[in-house]
Structure 1
């Protein structure tokens, strides 16, 4: 077996040697006959021309493949660069959208601050929700007693009332919103000055509404679109804070009171920043 391998190797070397020798002779002959004009030159030309043509074709094929390979490498590099640019632009676009949302939120708080400028307020950020739902029925903010906050302080966001502080620590406070099932807010209709109760009901949060109950409206003057704000007679809520607008109203079976629904001005699915009014109702009176 080893002997056969040696013989094949020797045979290959000989073939390569004679081919190289033949090519060398033909090249020399080509140069030598370049300046002659004889039948031998023609004969050599007949032999060399196909060989040179083949060599040129092979060289052209290799050259084309190299160009194709180089072009592919360039395209791959350009593609990677474009992908990197797209990723960077996506990150920047996401950041711009976040900045826009934050700017809009801060603009709303600024307008809210000026609308209730007689109250002393402090801004805070929401740091967690206290339930697994998508709604901010109860949540925690990043300010507490160190910032002068206390239980029963009113909390606002967007365009109006969010809720009230129910618990507080040195650097945190818990807020119960008006959509929570345990929330009841004494309110009134601005247009009629009739009083009512705004009752939280988490089953209505998908509609963006809260319940309006016990509306003292003997003449049935309240109508859809009327403004609902916190009333003067509330024990803990400061008066005149916007809650929302009547979206549904009807007389109760006792023919003495009315009930309905109020569309809230606050989006309780997306609360990031709030304003806490540091004035307590008892001290503000």
Structure 2
């Protein structure tokens, strides 16, 4: 094309149209009127771009290698960036390994209780609803989640679903003051209601004011009608304090939850309740106390090959016992002198 007045005018017009489209696209955001055209272009030209990239990558890499071979400073900077990326990847791998362990533990818990769960990840703390003890998870209605479903992890009860969006949900944690769940004590089957108290242990009102409760007793969820919002048998926590009985109809105990609510990452939403109440099957095996070591005393003969008589020799503390008839009281001699 020759450099004429018409060609320059056409160039200016094309540039103006391009700037106008860019402005409309930026202001439109995700609802940009050109977004459809962009997606269509990506669909059509994406495979072509991938093919061209695969074809010219070796050439581009070779040219890049030649260009950078004489530039030591650039090469060092590149290596530093690669090392930083490798460290970030290693950190990510550590986190992934931690998530795998959490997921494995959660699956074992779900298997013990025969719970059908949907795995999710905590992606936010707090919620627009104003709850002080809530988290947001990356699963919602598209994943089969509904309001008032039980949420757990590998340690026990996390909370219940309160709000469900298409791809995210809000979970009210068991530590929230507005949270209440029915409890059942292991073995004795004493019932109660646990209420959240923030960062303090859960407060449990036992329905039997004369219930025999002691420190170390464990509790699970009692369950709800139609299994909503709580399925039965989910571990809640261990009794750490029992308030004195005042003769009332109820009795208050304090429960330390199994779940670490400040370290939540992988959780499971119970989308299918168990056919039968698992009772205490989901509780972990109690830790057995270590046996008391046995003290063995060995008596050795003296230089003459004789064993010391009873009461002589070394005492339990390793010191020398006084001869038979001698007093252990250091003031005994002084008292005898006074009598003389």
TM-score range, shorter chain: 0.5 to 0.7
1:249 to 242, 249, 260: 242
1:258 is matched with which residue? Answer: 251
Secondary structure of residue in 2 paired with 1:101: helix
Paired with 1:238 and 1:142, the residues of 2 have a C-alpha distance of: 22
Whole-Å separation in 2 of the counterparts to 1:224 and 1:159: 20
Report the alpha carbon displacement of residue 203 of structure 1 after superposing the two structures with TM: 4.4
CA contact (8 A) 1:236 1:280 kept: no
1:255-284: CA deviations, max 9, x gaps?
A: 442212111111100111111111379x99
More helix by share: 1
Residue aligning to 1:228: 219
What is the deviation of 1:142?
A: 1.3
Q: Is residue 202 of structure 2 the alignment partner of residue 210 of structure 1?
A: yes
Shift of 1:96: 3.8
Q: Does 1:99 align with 2:91?
A: no
The equivalent residue for 1:185 is: 181
Q: CA deviation at 1:124?
A: 1.1
Matching of residue 157 in structure 1 with residue 150 in structure 2: no
**Closer/same/farther in 2, CA of residues 96 and 178 from structure 1, 3 Å limit:** same
Deviation track 1:202-232 (CA, whole Å, cap 9, x = no partner) reads 141xxxx2112234252x4211111111114
The equivalent of 1:170 in structure 2 is 166
Shift of 1:91: 3.5
Distance 2:197 2:189 in 1: 24
Aligned mate of 1:116, from 110, 113, 118: 113
User: In 2, Cα distance between the equivalents of 1:232 and 1:169?
Assistant: 25
Aligned-pair CA distance for 1:198:
0.6
| CA-CA distance at 1:92 after TM superposition | 5.0
**Cα displacement (A) at 1:97:** 2.7
C-alpha RMSD of the superposition: 3.2
Give yes or no for contact 1:251–1:257 (8 Å, CA) kept in 2.
no
Cα-to-partner distance string for 1:163-198 (whole Å, 9 max, x where unaligned): 111111111111101101100111111121111111
Give the structure 1 partner of residue 4 of structure 2.
none
Q: Which string of whole-angstrom CA distances, capped at 9 and with x for unpartnered residues, describes residues 225-251 of structure 1? A: 111111146663111111011111123
Match of 1:126 in 2: 122
1:73-106 Cα distance to aligned partner (Å, 9 max, x none): xxx9xx9999889756744552343123212211
How many residues are paired up? Answer: 201
In structure 2, stretches of 5+ residues that fail to align are 1-72, 278-340
CA contact (8 A) 2:238 2:256 kept: yes
Larger radius of gyration: 1
1:138 to 2:134 alignment? yes
> 2 CA distance for matches of 1:223 and 1:171?
44
